[in-house]
Amino acid sequence: MKKALITGINGQDGSYLAELLLSKNYKVFGLMRRKSKLDYGNIKHIKDKIEIIYGDMTDIVSLINAVKLSQPDEVYNLAAQSFVATSWEQPIATSEIDALGVTNLLEAIRTIKPEAKFYQASTSEMYGLVQEIPQSENTKFYPRSPYGVAKLYGHWITVNYRESYNMYACSGILFNHESERRGKEFVTRKITDTVARIKLGLLDVLELGNMSAKRDWGHSKDYVKAMWLMLQQEKADDYVVASGETHEVREFVSSAFKAVGMDIEFKGTGIDEIGVDKATQKTVVKVNPKYFRPSEVELLLGSPEKAERELNWEREISFNELVKLMVENDIKLVGEEIL
């Protein structure tokens, strides 16, 4: 039986990856932070099948302990302060977790179980002010947020430990991936949750920031398969995982309203832009400048060509299916709240 250690197991990706590895008969260990009130988050339904180890990416002692206890064949480092907007408010914490935390974990592995295979959750945010369209493994990085900068360190230290110590260490450069388990602060889930509340009469308006930003969105379930595939190869390498399509935030909004039978027309520009329900002529979308970022990543579009060719990875859930799954799930959850 293979053993895997997943950091950030209770997050969106951690939960789907744990399900995938359990289905492949792995013994799964999950690193979680201690909370004042015990909350298993996204792994409530599988917590009894997982061995939880308490620890923190900023505390190398806890990571050494986690590697000692689990003796893993594979380590997936998914733990991060993952919300870009927060990285301007907490740049030091973000760096300690997302940058130095990676070195802490690599050192713990190098000391205790250097033959373990390692996956680092790198990100398309590292491309930031994109230097090329589409972005591939060879595109130059230009991060635009403290989060992007910290993740770029995590990426290079992973490459460096592979080259310095011959460790099997991979960096997966994943483009945005969402799901029914996405945190509600991220734009997709904020949209689907608010659309559900508007449809059910609990809210009137969805307030957003930059609706012109373009993202390459996929479903987390598809993307965790690529993480696993990266650790099943003969040689460690880095891979872009993306849908190969880009959509404006505005398109996600239209598509989410369409999923509940509402047709939206956008009027005006910049901070005066509004989204109007064609049937009632009511304003249901507004811009609120408080959601603008100090510097923005305007366009992400990834090329998954290498992952498709070398890992045989393919995505199964399309953009429209993703939006529909998320909206239907939020209609159900919000409906249950008001029962």
What is the nearest approach in angstroms of ligand G4F to the Cβ of residue 48? 28
Instruction: Using alpha carbons, select from 212, 230, 261, 236 the residue that is nearest to residue 159.
Output: 236
What is the nearest approach in angstroms of ligand NAP to the Cβ of residue 31? 6
Q: Give me the residues paired with residue 206 across strands.
A: 285
The label of the residue with tokens 């029914």 reads 180
Tokens of residue 106, six digits = 């690599």
119 is annotated as an active-site residue:
no
Instruction: Using alpha carbons, select from 315, 192, 326, 327 the residue that is nearest to residue 242.
Output: 315
Total residues at interface with ligand NAP (CB under 6 A) = 24
CA 213/CA 317 separation, integer angstroms? 22
Are residues 240 and 302 in contact, defined by beta-carbon separation less than 8 angstroms? yes
* DSSP for 86-97, written as a single string: HHHHSHHHHHII
80 lies in the binding site for ligand NAP (CB under 6 A): yes
Considering only 167, 230, 249, 285, the residue that binds ligand G4F (CB under 6 A) is 249
CA 279/CA 260 separation, integer angstroms? 13
125 is annotated as an active-site residue:
yes
Q: Which stretch binds ligand G4F (CB under 6 A): 134-142, 154-162, 196-204, 294-302?
A: 294-302
- Interaction with ligand NAP in 13-72: which residues (CB under 6 A)? 13-14, 33, 41, 56-58
Total residues at interface with ligand G4F (CB under 6 A) = 24
DSSP three-state, residue 54: strand
89 lies in the binding site for ligand G4F (CB under 6 A): no
Of the candidates 26, 127, 147, 153, the residue annotated as catalytic is 147
Q: Which CB atom, from 296 or from 328, has the smaller least distance to ligand G4F?
A: 296
CA 87/CA 315 separation, integer angstroms? 29
Considering only 163, 185, 314, 321, the residue that binds ligand G4F (CB under 6 A) is 185
Residues of the shown chain interacting with ligand NAP in the complex, contacts defined by CB under 6 A: 7-8, 10-14, 33, 41, 56-58, 78-82, 97, 121, 123, 174, 176-177, 183
